[in-house]
Amino acid sequence: MSPGEEDVEASSDSGGSATRRCAACKFLRRRCSRDCVLAPHFPASDPHRYACVQRVFGAGNTARMLQVITDHYY
C-alpha cells in the first residue's frame, strides 16, 4: 500500500473515478461528497488545520458555521 493510497477512494456516483477526501472527511472517517461544505476550507494536503479547528469548535459546529457563511456570502 502506498502512503497516499488511503486518501483516494472510488466514488460510485461519478462513474468509478477516484476522488480525494478533504482533511475533515479523512479525520472523521467518512466519504467526502461533491458538495462537502468543509472541502474548500480544509484541503487534504493540510490535515493538521482541521484537527486544530475540530478540537476547539467540534465537528458539528464547524460544519454549521461554514454552512451559514457559505449561504450568506457565496
DSSP lists the bridge partners of residue 18 as: 10
E strands, the chain, in order: 8-10, 18-20
Higher pLDDT residue, 4 or 52?
52
Higher per-residue confidence, 74 vs 62? 62
| DSSP-based three-state secondary structure for 27 | helix
Q: What is the pLDDT of residues 31-73, one digit of tens each?
A: 999 999 999 999 999 999 999 999 999 999 999 999 998 888 7
Q: How far apart are alpha carbons 25 and 4 in whole angstroms?
A: 15
Q: Output the nine-digit C-alpha cell for 60.
A: 458539528
